[in-house]
Amino acid sequence: MTGALVAAGVAAASAASAQATIKVGVLHSLSGTMAISETTLKDTVLMLIDEQNKKGGLLGKKLEAVVVDPASDWPLFAEKARGLLEKDKVAVVFGCWTSVSRKSVLPVFEKDNGLLFYPVQYEGEESSKNVIYTGAAPNQQAIPAVDYLMKEVGVKRWVLEGTDYVYPRTTNKVLEAYLKSKGVAAADISINYTPFGHSNWQARVADIKKFGSAGKKTAVVSTINGDANVPFYKELGNQKVSAEDIPVVAFSVGEEELSGVDTKPLVGHLAAWNYFQSINTPANKAFIDRWKAYIKKPRRTTNDPMEAHYIGFNLWVKAVQKAGSTDVDKVLAALPGLEVPNLTGGMAKMLPNHHITKPVYIGEVRADGQFDVVWKTTGTVPGDAWSDYLPGSKDIEADWVTLKCGNYNSKTKACSGQNYK
């Protein structure tokens, strides 16, 4: 009898201890092809949790990180997400990089009514009740980058080069439709995909050089993801593809990816993001100083998805404080309309479509692996969940406040997917 009472007491104490913290899931690949990009995001969330705890936590409780490694394995992302929501009972998850990993976990978050903050640029064509998209939609990165190349660089021929999965394929579908709407001929658009982790770029870079030798200004729009970028950029250097001849604008290459490359041959090539480490604002300088102090490795850089997690984490904290609860439905109701500072001197606003407002920057690679900003939008751009250039999407609206639907057809007046019950 006494043993049973002791056991019951231990169980009660354990339950009380579990309730004494707010668990935060961290779902980023720490091994495999995407670890080059995602490990830093895990470290970013841990830093943000540490800083929040030093401020007294949230709702009088400490935040507790629950870190898992889905190992760049897309089905494993779903399994790890299920564990975070059903076993660990996390209040929120910050995670995923590739769209295929996000698509893998989406049914889990919707079934279990979890909350995912997704920090990376993506292809659009989605708005889930259970996902907050703090990375760029195509109208906040891909479209402005193509506009810049067209208007400022005079590009007439286009190589759309991507890793073979949903983000590059859908983004390039949007870009192809957009280019053709601007009068670009099909013969002036070359589209190619390679597998994750692709390393032998010799033949493909030679093909790009040949495509660019037709007498029209040519550019590469790159949606290559993960560690395949390192040999791709090395091969560009080997074959002396300079930015003057064929500029490359990348959507998935930032300071972190360039830290493993000899960047001297790449000077002048471009990246389109909503943040660069080199942007000189007091908020950014303070963030970089805190990051270097936390990580204790002065050569570690900051990058755009880190800023997206910074924005997303602060939006979540603000929504929890407003709701007075970590309950997912209450937090989701509190989020739309909230604003928090970004790191580039403006404000990020949560929109009814679960996307945010972001500035857009085009940066040129410097010899030190940082970027010089060569172009930026005058203000922030609201994220558009559904493309205006794809026939099946231009009539679709996402609005979780008024319409309570992520894919409302304005012509048929019907919500064809998940919606608020």
DSSP 275-321: --TT---HHHHHHHHHHHHHH--TT----HHHHHHHHHHHHHHHHHH
Q: How far is residue 165's CA from residue 96's CA, in Å, rounded to a whole number?
A: 14
Is 1 among the domain residues?
no
| Judgement on whether residues 205 and 233 belong to the same structural domain of the protein | yes
- Cα angle 342-273-149, degrees, rounded to a multiple of 5: 140
Residue 358: strand pairing partners: 381
CA–CA gap between residue 6 and residue 132 (Å, rounded): 44
| pLDDT of amino acid 392 | 86
Does residue 389 belong to any structural domain of this protein? Answer: no
- Residues 296, 186 share a domain: no
User: How does pLDDT run across 284-323, given as a tens digit for each residue?
Assistant: 999 999 999 999 998 889 999 999 999 999 999 999 999 9
Q: Are 252 and 372 within one domain?
A: yes
- Is there a single domain that holds both residue 368 and residue 322? no
List own/partner pairs for 44-48 with CB under 8 A and 24 or more apart: 44/291, 44/306, 44/309, 44/310, 45/94, 45/309, 45/313, 47/290, 47/291, 47/294, 47/295, 48/309, 48/310, 48/313
Residue 359 to residue 378: CA distance in whole angstroms: 8
Q: Does residue 121 share a domain with residue 260?
A: no
Q: 359: how many CB neighbours lie within 10 A of its CB?
A: 21
Tell me if 369 sits within 8 A of 261, measured CB to CB. yes
Distances 69 to 63, 77, 105, 151, 219 between C-alpha atoms, Å: 19, 8, 14, 43, 36
Does residue 24 form part of some domain?
yes
Whether residues 244 and 265 share a domain: the answer is yes
Per-residue pLDDT, 418 = 75
Q: Which two tokens stand for residue 156?
A: 């007439």
396 part of a folded domain:
no
Same domain, 221 and 307: no
Residue 359, pLDDT score? 98
| Residue 342 shares a structural domain with residue 307 | yes
Half-sphere exposure of 221 (CA within 13 A, CB side): 29
Helix 229-238 × helix 202-211 angle, to 10°: 60
**8 A C-beta contact, residue 21 and residue 49:** no
Residue at which a domain ends, from 325, 359, 393: 359
Which has the closest alpha carbon to 41: 69, 61, 63, 21?
69
Residue 297 and residue 337 in one domain: yes
How many structural domains comprise the chain?
A: 2
Q: What is the pLDDT of residue 186?
A: 97
Q: What is the CATH number of the domain that holds 350?
A: 3.40.50.2300
374 & 270 share domain: yes
CB–CB of 339/348 below 8 Å?
yes
- Domain ranges, residue 169: 139-276+362-382
For residue 230, the model assigns a pLDDT of: 84
Q: Is 150 helix (H, G, I), strand (E, B) or coil?
A: helix
Q: For the chain, which residues score pLDDT lower than 70?
A: 1-18, 420-421
Q: Which of 315, 344, 359 lies at the terminal end of a domain, its last residue?
A: 359
Instruction: Decide: 61 and 20 in contact? Cβ < 8 Å.
Output: yes
Same domain, 24 and 167: no
H or E stretch including 92?
strand 92-95
pLDDT at 263: 85
53 and 158 both lie in a single domain: no
Single out the residue of 211, 198, 37, 205 nearest to residue 120, CA to CA. Answer: 37
Euclidean distance between CA atoms 45 and 318, whole angstroms: 16
Q: Beta partners for 372?
A: 364
Domain assignment present for 42: yes
